[in-house]
């Protein structure tokens, strides 16, 4: 399989147009071009609304950036990509001015390029493995920006290409959850000719892409375009169906589904279990973001309420914490603060998100930890007892462990607290399949290659397996599981045919 891929990549690289392109500019001239800067909305403008912060590259910027790519013989960047996009190929399409072709290359391996171009942590994936990073110690080619550019170009052109789809094989596969893992699995399975039905528990499709990631980082309209593309590939979507509740796995088997992909996500927010955490005005980032992003709570004509805090404290340092604190700022918070128990260096959020948050006036209170909440007489939170921390020895994660400083506690005013300290897997599917192998963290145990659980025919991926990871890792899982499902079903189909022929002979 790997050899096959390498051969394919080499063949593509040796195409005449790629060779010509390589010859046009000397490597030295390529490497002397400076990395493009992403045009952004001004911080004081963007915090007034939900407008997308990154505006996207212009054609000229994209072509110039594409020229930086050396079209390496050994494209290490691809190894950093969980869905193995042929990165040099799509970048060289951009350099050649064939923007639409670049999008086709992306969609060959990635069902949601416009999404990934926006929310993937490229700095620790493809761009971390770019020749510029590894060997030249220079800023990597802006692969993420270019991915977004190509996907946006295609979408805006109104001329959306669809990947090649194998003939419908009539085999029904059920996908549970329409988040990144489910969408990616559906796209792959549809391409392989399966009849895919996606079951979504909520009233909207897209999972975390809709309820979690805010408009200013990933507009919902972009997610909808990607979902519509899947519909064009023949994928059927059903909303408001909770598998394990509305329909059981048995029901689906009876309806003729031959395999299941569970991508039900990390839908159970974690709390810290400290005194006062159930006071009014203290909520999970999942709840806060769902109210604002999915339910439109901040807009006057929507029924769902949300609290507009004056002093908003977000507990945690991940991307979800950044999304929450930046949302609070946009909803008019005077102070929007991050409270994080380690230092900036250990913060798990993407550097870009931290940078954007700082530009927007978010206060970073690092080496701080809440230990208690204090409320007014109505049970509404009014302040946080904060403890100062220092970094001790590295813990099992390799990061230096935060240690409380004795006697350092103080009170901080806060009328809205958003707890963003991680999520656990949603319990509904494991509850409905008692024989399913569930780890002690509540995640579904799967085979690392096929993504199959201990129940034959039941596959899983994304946060229900990982506990809380990224969009792209979920998508990578979905893709792997699609392959696993295909291998299983292909074998059974072949076996059935063999059995039939043996029986008849």
CB of 372 to another protein, least distance (A): 15
In the complex with another protein, the residue whose CB is nearer, 279 or 364, is 279
Phi and psi at residue 339, to the nearest 5° = -115, 115
Antiparallel, parallel or unpaired: β 257-262 and 268-269: unpaired
CB of 430 to another protein, least distance (A): 11
Computed from CA positions of residues 107, 112, 114, 118, in that sequence, does the dihedral angle turn out positive or negative?
Answer: negative
In the complex with another protein, the residue whose CB is nearer, 216 or 288, is 288
CB of 269 to another protein, least distance (A): 5
In the complex with another protein, the residue whose CB is nearer, 287 or 359, is 287
CB of 498 to another protein, least distance (A): 38
Q: What b/e readout covers 154-166, taking b as 16+ CB neighbours within 10 angstroms?
A: bbeeeebeeeeee
In the complex with another protein, the residue whose CB is nearer, 121 or 179, is 179
Phi and psi at residue 473, to the nearest 5° = -65, -40
Q: Is 279 exposed, middle or buried, given 0-12, 13-18 or 19+ CB atoms closer than 10 A?
A: middle
Distance (Å, rounded) from C-alpha 461 to C-alpha 473?
A: 9
CB of 252 to another protein, least distance (A): 12
CB of 243 to another protein, least distance (A): 11
In the complex with another protein, the residue whose CB is nearer, 11 or 301, is 301
Sheet holding 335-340, edge to edge: 282-284, 416-419, 311-315, 335-340, 363-366
In the complex with another protein, the residue whose CB is nearer, 197 or 286, is 286
Is 43 in contact with 361 (CB distance < 8 Å)? yes
Consecutive H or E run containing 401: strand 400-404
Report how far apart, in Å, the C-alpha atoms of 166 and of each of 188, 195, 258 are. 11, 11, 18
Q: Is 505 exposed, middle or buried, given 0-12, 13-18 or 19+ CB atoms closer than 10 A?
A: exposed
Helix (H), strand (E) counts: the chain: 21, 16
CB of 288 to another protein, least distance (A): 9
Is 461 in contact with 480 (CB distance < 8 Å)? yes
**Cβ contacts of residue 27 below 8 Å, gap of 6+?**
70
Which residue's structure tokens are 């970048």? Answer: 91
* Residue 364, beta-bridge partner list: 338
Distance (Å, rounded) from C-alpha 491 to C-alpha 473?
A: 27
CB of 467 to another protein, least distance (A): 15
In the complex with another protein, the residue whose CB is nearer, 10 or 245, is 245
CB of 409 to another protein, least distance (A): 23
CB of 505 to another protein, least distance (A): 44
CB of 199 to another protein, least distance (A): 11
In the complex with another protein, the residue whose CB is nearer, 298 or 458, is 298
* Residue 374, beta-bridge partner list: 383
CB of 253 to another protein, least distance (A): 16
In the complex with another protein, the residue whose CB is nearer, 192 or 298, is 298
For 273: left if phi > 0, alpha if psi spans -120 to 50, otherwise beta; the answer is: left
In the complex with another protein, the residue whose CB is nearer, 425 or 484, is 425
In the complex with another protein, the residue whose CB is nearer, 299 or 495, is 299
DSSP string, 95-130: HTT-HHHHHHHHHHH-S-HHHHHHHS-GGGTTGGGS
In the complex with another protein, the residue whose CB is nearer, 233 or 418, is 418
Is 409 in contact with 385 (CB distance < 8 Å)? yes
In the complex with another protein, the residue whose CB is nearer, 140 or 212, is 212
Positions that interact with another protein (CB under 8 A): 201-203, 211, 239-242, 245-248, 265, 267-269, 271, 273, 277-281, 283-284, 286-287, 290-291, 295-296, 299-307, 378-379, 426-428, 431
CB of 305 to another protein, least distance (A): 3
Distance (Å, rounded) from C-alpha 467 to C-alpha 462?
A: 8
Here the tokens at position 477 are 């899982």
Distance (Å, rounded) from C-alpha 168 to C-alpha 188?
A: 13
Antiparallel, parallel or unpaired: β 381-394 and 400-404: antiparallel
Is 114 in contact with 126 (CB distance < 8 Å)? no
DSSP state of 233: T
Which residue's structure tokens are 């409270």? Answer: 339
């Amino acid at each position: 399989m790997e050899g096959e891929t390498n051969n394919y990549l080499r063949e593509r690289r040796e195409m005449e147009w790629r060779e010509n392109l390589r010859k046009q500019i000397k490597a030295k001239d390529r490497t002397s071009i400076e990395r493009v800067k992403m045009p952004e909305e001004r911080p004081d403008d963007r915090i007034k609304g939900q407008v997308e912060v990154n505006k996207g590259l212009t054609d000229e910027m994209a072509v110039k950036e594409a020229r930086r790519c050396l079209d390496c013989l050994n494209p290490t960047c691809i190894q950093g990509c969980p869905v193995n996009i042929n990165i040099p190929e799509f970048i060289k399409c951009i350099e050649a001015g064939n923007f639409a072709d670049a999008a086709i290359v992306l969609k060959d391996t990635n069902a949601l390029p416009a999404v990934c171009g926006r929310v993937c942590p490229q700095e620790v994936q493809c761009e971390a493995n770019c020749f510029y990073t590894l060997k030249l110690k220079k800023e990597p080619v802006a692969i993420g920006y270019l991915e977004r550019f190509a996907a946006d170009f295609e979408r805006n052109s109104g001329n959306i290409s669809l990947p090649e789809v194998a003939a419908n094989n009539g085999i029904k596969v059920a996908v549970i959850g329409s988040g990144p893992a489910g969408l990616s699995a559906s796209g792959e399975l549809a391409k392989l000719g399966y009849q895919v039905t996606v079951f979504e528990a909520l009233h909207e499709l897209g999972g975390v892409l809709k309820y979690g990631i805010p408009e200013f980082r990933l507009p919902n309209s972009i997610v909808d375009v990607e979902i519509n593309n899947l519909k064009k590939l023949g994928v059927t979507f059903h909303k408001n169906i909770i598998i394990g509740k509305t329909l059981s796995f048995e029901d689906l088997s009876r309806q003729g589904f031959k395999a299941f992909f569970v991508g039900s996500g990390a839908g159970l927010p974690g709390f810290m279990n400290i005194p006062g955490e159930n006071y009014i005005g203290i909520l999970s980032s999942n709840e806060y973001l769902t109210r604002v992003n999915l339910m439109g709570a901040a807009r006057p004509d929507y029924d769902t309420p949300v609290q507009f805090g004056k002093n908003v404290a977000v507990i945690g340092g991940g991307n979800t914490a950044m999304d929450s604190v930046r949302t609070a700022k946009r909803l008019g918070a005077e102070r929007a603060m991050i409270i994080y128990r380690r230092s900036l260096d250990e913060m798990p959020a993407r550097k870009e998100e931290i940078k954007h948050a700082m530009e927007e006036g978010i206060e970073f209170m690092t080496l701080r930890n809440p230990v208690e909440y204090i409320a007014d007489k109505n049970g509404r939170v009014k302040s946080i007892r904060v403890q100062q921390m220092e970094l001790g020895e590295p813990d099992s994660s390799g990061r230096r462990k935060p240690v409380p400083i004795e006697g350092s506690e103080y009170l901080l005013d806060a009328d809205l607290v958003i707890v963003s300290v991680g999520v656990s897997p949603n319990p509904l599917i494991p509850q409905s399949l008692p024989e399913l192998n569930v780890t002690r963290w509540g995640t579904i145990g799967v085979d690392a290659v096929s993504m199959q659980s201990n129940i034959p025919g039941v596959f899983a991926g994304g946060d229900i397996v990982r506990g809380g990871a990224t969009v792209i890792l979920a998508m990578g899982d979905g893709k792997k599981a699609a392959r696993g499902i295909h291998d299983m079903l292909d074998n059974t189909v072949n076996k059935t045919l063999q059995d039939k022929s043996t029986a008849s002979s």
